[in-house]
Amino acid sequence: MVDLLRQTERLQPGLNEAMHAVVASGAFIQGPEVKLFAAELTAHEGVKHVVPCANGTDALQLAFMALGLKPGDEVLVPVFTYVATAEVIALLGLTPVLVDVDPETFLLQPEAVEAAVTPRTKAVVPVHLFGQCAPMEGLLRVAERFNLFVVEDAAQAIGATYTFADGHTAQAGTMGHIGCTSFFPSKNLGCFGDGGALFTQHDDLAALLQQMANHGQKVKYYHDTVGVNSRLDTLQAAVLRLKLPHLRDFAARRQAVAAAYDAAFSGNDRLKIPVRVAQSTHVFHQYTLLLQGVDRAAFQAALQERGVPTMVYYPVPLHLQKAYARPEYPVGTFPVAEHLAQNVVSLPIHTEMEADEIQYIIHTVHQTLSQISFA
Ligand SMILES: *Cc1c(COP(=O)(O)O)cnc(C)c1O
């Protein structure tokens, strides 16, 4: 699905040199690379503050801690997402309220969010799923009308650009009160382990996030708030500093793969190619097809046999997960998410794919489709 080793090799010897420099310095925690990376990412994203942390899930947790939400407060979350989005909400004693997604884009829609607002709703989490921005203009308008905090989950969309009606643009994760991203190795900007960051335009939130990510202390051994230990390792910051200048190229490489898949599959009525949000660029963390009348398991097995891996993101929507099931969410509550969970399939996409590999995948998908029986 992703070829991390080839990308690493292509960026050598720089990566090894950067890591060896950290090892030689001995400054493994809060070394100078961490601040340098934060400053470089701040400039790259056009956001006022970047607060690095240990992973994307922690970024989401820190966001809700800093916003001061209280147990019982409701947070609106798309039901079709990676579990981390809802996990931290539940962990903090807040109530994740699930909202179905758009059948075309798989993203949260302003109308659906508005319909789910109650007097207890305090925040909404647009997830920029698979690499393109949710319809932020409408979502921000609903959030403003109902006085909701907006926490963007940009773990899959770092580098995606959203264009507002007045023509101004913003990067994924920089439009809400707080944006969260992940540097998990397979993410679009990946390090060599876990890593994450928070984005915000608000000085007070940035200071609080920084403090909460480091045991609630501004001054060492003076703890003003309850915090957590969630710091980006110096080694990871060094790796990320080296990769950040390549982020636009990484996106272009993924977009080229997506364009080849689009051209090959757009005429096929059994495969629905990813629908683009007009206002957003797509950085293709995943290239996800919606199968129409195809036995997905048979399709995947046949592709696997011919050496083409596929994955299902995500096979079970949140309301059907044991940990998040609730009596008010029986099967059938979120028909779009349930349909997607049964019919989506993602093809390999990464920065190092060669033309012959792309052609082999395309050829094999066509061949497989013409051979398997249809559900
Ligand atoms: C990866 C991911 C996260 C969590 O990031 P980690 O760094 O793995 O903790 C959160 N939300 C989404 C949508 C993700 O894809």
Residues 298 and 356 in one domain: yes
Residues 151 and 293 in one domain: no
Quick one: pLDDT at residue 3? 87
Domain boundary (194, 214, 246) is at 246
Q: Provide the domain count of the chain.
A: 2
Expressed in angstroms and rounded, the spacing between residue 152 Cα and the centre of ligand 1 is: 12
Ligand 1 contacts (CB < 6 A) are 55-57, 81-82, 84-85, 127, 153, 155-156, 182, 184, 194, 196
Residues 190 and 337 in one domain: no
DSSP element (H, E) containing 271: strand 271-272
Expressed in angstroms and rounded, the spacing between residue 212 Cα and the centre of ligand 1 is: 19
- Where residue 62 sits, what CATH number does that domain have? 3.40.640.10
Q: Which backbone phi and psi does 95 adopt, to 5 degrees? A: -105, 110
DSSP per residue, 98-126: EE---TTT-S--HHHHHHH--TTEEEE--
Residues 186 and 286 in one domain: no
Residues 165 and 273 in one domain: no
Q: Is the pTM of this model over 0.95?
A: yes
Q: At what angle do helices 32-45 and 234-243 cross, to 10 degrees?
A: 40
Residues 240 and 293 in one domain: no
Quick one: pLDDT at residue 371? 87
Nearest to 306 by CA among 254, 363, 374, 234: 363
Q: Which atom of ligand 1 is nearest to the CA of 128?
A: 13
Quick one: pLDDT at residue 214? 96
Residues 334 and 227 in one domain: no
For the chain, count helices (H), then strands (E). 13, 14
Q: Which atom of ligand 1 is nearest to the CA of 55?
A: 7
Quick one: pLDDT at residue 372? 79
Domain boundary (192, 215, 246) is at 246
Quick one: pLDDT at residue 374? 58
Q: Which domain holds residue 273?
A: 247-371
Helix (H, G, I), strand (E, B) or coil at 192: coil
Domain boundary (246, 275, 290) is at 246
Residues 52 and 121 in one domain: yes
Q: Which residues of the chain have pLDDT under 50?
A: none
Expressed in angstroms and rounded, the spacing between residue 301 Cα and the centre of ligand 1 is: 27
